[in-house]
Chain A
């Protein structure tokens, strides 16, 4: 076998040169690979921190720190998170770096004490891409393909709400406000919202609307509720004039409950002056604002004269529970003349156009218009807030908001508005202008201010899709409803005590006095006196209990029940056999501790706390002693100081205070010692 002659047994030089070049190129590029690793962003950051550390820490601490090098990782399999933020944020848990430049600055506040990073990680609260090890990929700013970049601090409370499911989570004012707004606006009537299950929001009953309202008012209201009532909870449904007309016909044809008989009333003899006085006595403004001042539990009355028919108003005031059994309004005990006076006063005083003659009731006969109106009523989901017999409740008309924060932002319509496509931006726009997002919308325009809409969006942004492990969820159970029965239950229902007072956390908070131990606090006879004629106990407090005009037997029934059932055993059985020496020592202590700075006795003293002149007839000694000893137990955050009184001193003060109001002696001596 021959070999080709003339062919050299080595490759041409050209190939050798190529070989050398490629070999060198390989070496260079490989070095580049190694270099890239060594110059990774986190390494340079850690080197910078080492410089900072050397200036801040002592050698022992430096040795400690040197043992923990390289990448830092917090792995939380329960929460499905891997957070490597600590690789660059090296001073986050060290107060010594409070003023260091970022990323080395320590965490603000005490958040890491209540939420240690080995249990919560970082991205639970701040979002971002926890697995990344450089600034860009960690999504400190929005990053492609990262669904949840880091949250701006202004909206971080949205993440608090993921675990803290109560309506008032601690240290989260914007979230609490947002949830309160949702609660008050009744969003859950049309939308299924996690955290607001089981709540009902009811607008007024409409089954007798034909007798209740004036037709012009109804047209005005349907066109834009806020034109009548600025704080209306009902939104603007953007109805067309045809829809308004047919709806008006439908609603005004609702005449289920005929008003109470007021034919015997002589309206010409109505005394509006008396009406005004009664209006003040009944403390209507506790719940109904007029001209912008007053409570918000009931509708504002500033223009009630434009809205309500006279006979219906008379009938309603006389017996509200007949027309609307679940109304919070209580039933006072007045006679027809008094109701006449109040009705006349309200209609004359609170209207925008002066007194005009009421148009007569018209029977609505156009069946087609009524049917059309009914169709509008059903289509726009009015049934969600206004019960109407004959219209069945077909469930919530709006989509469920469960997991809304994790909705695919690309699927949501933004209507040509130039915003970044995120679920939160969509929610914000939707709250502000539901009909301007490029699709026809059933949702009414509520007229939220941008600030309010922002807070509600923040609250909604806490509604995530994924479940949390139970150990992370904080949802206190709602207070158990308190529904007494029997005569007491009847009375409580008539006078709607739970509208302002609470029992076991259930009820209203207009009064700062829960009823749970009221029987151990107040002397029985005082309860009777007070209910029949509530006076001012605190000068500085605006809210007052209304004059119910209740009968003495009703007041006694209340007092009996409260004094028998709403007791605190630790206060019962206090030895009230005081000696004169006790009372003297108490008086001395009263002077020494400077109680007169806040409390009045007779004509002297301050206005911060309750007046004490009649304490002996008002408060039970057991309560006085308990309160003086540890006030914050009974009212957290009270202004009453805790003097650290010994039980002897508390007894002395109790003796002194219990003597006040029993005889004239205390008043004179109170004046004398000043």
Chain B
């Protein structure tokens, strides 16, 4: 390599393992990964790569979203017209728009499944409690991003879904009206609402999301994957008995940060493989698979676009986006319970979970028998949420009356 090349790449294409490891830790993009990983976590069943897929989807959404921003106009009624332009006159506009929408829906689903996986493998327990909280925040942000984006096409589907959603928010006691007023930028859904949602969707929430994702991934690096921890060797007896000083080999800065409990040496050296190529290759495969599936779905299934939003014509029934339909079903029974109490309880329960469940059993194993109670309760709640969502989607017709979807 000549001098110019060296100034850019520093290390040429690595051939030896040492060079590959060096490339991993010296590259700004690659050093998300450690130089070596436990081979146990390379199995697909370890984490189902759900976190990775969420990240990939976020990247796809960012890229497609940026592209769409060049043609989308955030002012009604031009917003609707620009959606039609994307469909008819922008080269690849249809595919981009479809991909953006289906990736958004997919991300909500994948993030939810990721949370389930983390619960079922007990990976929220110490020392990973705060990362779980960050994850819950990311879940809420994902829902917020999907919700703010839902309004942008400004068609009947968008307008009334957001009407339902902001009305549910308005049920919050004490702050409900104020909250709704701030969300809408007024009393009704109008141009200012669209502008707010647009800025939230394209700038504020993605930035926040990016920061929190970085924190989330950073924590994963520091704490290691629980699937690896399962196979960890116990700390050397000398260390446990206090004979030798605690190992200061950490990822922390100049040994000033406290040593985390599962440090590098706790891993069985026999289980380690180099991240390059093993981890990277598998990540590449997952990325490819996700991209291929997204393309196929975007080419086959059209994202909906109904008539332009008309504040005077309410479709019957008016439904929130699918991930809020479970809530809307509950709201049907009681606005306060369904719209306020249940979501608050869910969020509170999720956030406080790792601080309530302090038992260190079953970390890193799927459906560990020691955690039968916790797993059962959680699974039941998951099934109920899914059932409520399915009811809200398929079994509710005009006036929210019960209908049989095959009728």
A and B touch in the complex (CB under 8 A): yes
Chain A interface: which of B126-134, B173-181, B206-214, B277-285?
B277-285
Interface SS majority for chain B: helix
Q: How far is the CB of B126 from chain A (nearest CB, A)?
A: 27
- Contact: A11 with B288, CB < 8 Å? no
The stretch among A25-33, A97-105, A474-482, A499-507 that forms the contact with chain B is: A25-33
* Interface 0/1 of A118-141, CB less than 8 Å to B: 000000000001011110010000
Cα–Cα distance between A3 and B299 once the two chains are bound (Å): 45
- By the criterion CB–CB under 8 Å, are A23 and B288 in contact? yes
Residues of A within 8 Å of B270, CB to CB, are 2, 4-5
Given known contacts A25-B292, A29-B295, A84 and B89 CB-to-CB distance under 8 angstroms: yes
Q: Complex formed: what's the CA distance from A1 to B18 in Å?
A: 12
Q: Give how many B residues have a beta carbon under 8 Å from the other chain's beta carbons.
A: 39
Question: Which residues of A are found within 8 Å of B289, using beta-carbon distances?
Answer: 22
* Closest Cβ–Cβ distance, residue B323 to chain A (whole Å): 23
Say yes or no for A39: interface residue by CB 8 A criterion.
Answer: no
Q: Is A9 an interface residue (CB 8 A)?
A: yes
Residues of A within 8 A of B81 (CB): 82, 131
Determine how close the nearest CB of chain B comes to the CB of A108; give it in whole angstroms: 27
Q: Can you name the residue of chain B whose Cβ is closest to the Cβ of A131?
A: B84
Chain A residue with Cβ nearest B269? A2
Q: Is A147 an interface residue (CB 8 A)?
A: yes
Contact B296 A19 (CB under 8 A): no
Q: Which of B142-150, B215-223, B305-313, B347-355 contacts A (4 or more CB under 8 A)?
A: B305-313
Q: Does B19 contact A (CB under 8 A)?
A: no
List residues of A (148-192) whose CB comes within 8 Å of B's CBs.
none
Tell me the smallest distance from the CB of B99 to a CB of chain A, in Å. Answer: 10
| Residues of chain A with a CB closer than 8 A to B17's CB | 3, 9
Q: Which of B85, B91, B292 contacts A131 (CB 8 A)?
A: B85
Contact A3 B91, beta carbon cutoff 8 Å: no
Q: Is A356 an interface residue (CB 8 A)?
A: no
CA distance A19 to B305 in the complex (A): 36
Docked CA distance A1–B271 (Å) = 12
CB of B92 within 8 Å of the partner chain: yes
CB contacts (< 8 Å) of B288 on chain A: these are: 19, 22-23, 26
List chain B residues, Cβ under 8 A from A134: 88
In-complex Cβ contact of A133 among B88, B281, B306 (8 A): B88
What sequence of 0s and 1s flags, for each residue 58-85 of chain A, a beta carbon within 8 Å of any chain B beta carbon? 0000000000000101000000101010
Q: Does A467 contact B (CB under 8 A)?
A: no
Q: Evaluate whether A146 and B307 lie within 8 angstroms (CB atoms) in the complex, with A11-B282, A22-B288 already known.
A: yes
B273 within 8 A of A: yes
Nearest CB in chain A: distance from B207 CB, A? 30
Q: How far is the CA of A322 from the CA of B95 in the complex (A)?
A: 79
Interchain CA distance A25-B284 in the complex, whole Å: 14
Task: Give the complex CA separation of A4 and B267 in angstroms.
Answer: 11
Provide the residues of chain A in CB contact with B88, threshold 8 Å.
Answer: 84, 131-134, 137
Q: Given A33-B295, A84-B89, A408-B312, do A22 and B285 touch, yes or no (CB 8 Å)? A: yes
Contact of B278 among A11, A25, A29, A132 (CB under 8 A): A11
Q: Does residue B272 face the partner (Cβ distance < 8 Å to A)?
A: yes
Question: Does A451 have its Cβ within 8 Å of any Cβ on chain B?
Answer: no
Bound Cα distance from A320 to B392, whole angstroms: 72
Report whether B277 and A10 are in contact in the complex, using a CB–CB cutoff of 8 Å: yes
Q: Are A33 and B95 in contact (CB under 8 A)?
A: yes
Which residues of the partner chain A approach B295 to less than 8 Å between Cβ atoms? Answer: 26, 29-30, 33
B285 engages A18 (CB within 8 Å): yes
1/0 per residue, CB under 8 A from B, across A532-566: the answer is: 00000000000000000000000000000000000
- B68-81: contact bitstring with A at CB < 8 Å (1 yes, 0 no)? 00000000010001
Residues 183-241 of B at the A interface (beta carbon under 8 Å): none
Task: Give the contacts of A397-415 with B (CB-CB under 8 A).
Answer: 408, 410-411
C-alpha spacing A25/B295, complex, angstroms? 10
Determine how close the nearest CB of chain B comes to the CB of A137; give it in whole angstroms: 7
Q: Which of B274, B284, B305 contacts A9 (CB 8 A)?
A: B274
Instruction: Give A579 to B134 CA distance when docked, in angstroms.
Output: 116
B299 touches A408 (CB 8 A): no
A32 cross-chain contacts in B, Cβ below 8 A:
299
Q: In the complex where A15-B285, A22-B288 touch, is A36 in contact with B299 (Cβ < 8 A)?
A: yes
Partner of A7, one of B92, B273, B281: B273
Question: Is the beta-carbon distance between B274 and A19 smaller than 8 angstroms?
Answer: no
Which residue of chain A has the shortest Cβ distance to B88 in the bound complex? A133
**Residues of A with C-beta under 8 A to B85:** 82, 131
Q: CB-CB < 8 A to A23: which residues of B? A: 288
* Best-surrounded residue of A2, A32, A82, A131 (most CB of chain B within 10 A): A131
Q: Tell me the A362-411 residues at the B interface (CB within 8 Å).
A: 408, 410-411
Name the one of A11, A73, A147 contacting B281, with C-beta atoms under 8 angstroms.
A11
Residues of the A chain whose Cβ atoms lie less than 8 Å from the Cβ of B274: 3, 9
Contact check, B272 vs A4: say whether CB atoms are below 8 A apart: yes
User: A3: which of B92, B269, B292, B312 is its contact (CB, 8 Å)?
Assistant: B269
A37 CB–B CB distance under 8 Å: yes
B89 A19 Cβ-Cβ under 8 A = no
| C-alpha gap A633/B271 in the complex (Å) | 107
Distance of A377 Cα from B128 Cα, bound (Å): 82
CA of A133 to CA of B296 in the docked complex: distance in angstroms? 23
Instruction: Given contact pairs A9-B17, A131-B89, enumerate 19 new A-B contacts (beta carbons under 8 Å).
Output: A4-B269, A9-B273, A11-B277, A11-B282, A15-B281, A15-B285, A18-B285, A22-B285, A22-B292, A26-B291, A26-B292, A29-B292, A29-B295, A29-B299, A30-B295, A80-B77, A129-B84, A145-B155, A145-B305
Q: Could you list some 8 contacts between A and B, CB below 8 A?
A: A2-B270, A4-B273, A11-B277, A11-B278, A19-B284, A22-B292, A26-B292, A33-B295
Residues of A within 8 A of B (CB): 1-5, 7, 9-11, 15, 18-19, 22-23, 25-26, 29-30, 32-33, 36-37, 71, 73, 80, 82, 84, 129, 131-134, 137, 145-147, 408, 410-411
7 closest cross-chain pairs (CB), A and B: A22-B288, A2-B269, A131-B84, A133-B88, A29-B295, A145-B306, A145-B307
A-contacting residues of B (Cβ < 8 Å)?
Answer: 17, 36, 39, 77, 81, 84-85, 87-89, 91-92, 95, 155, 269-274, 277-278, 281-282, 284-285, 288-289, 291-292, 295-296, 299, 305-307, 310, 312-313
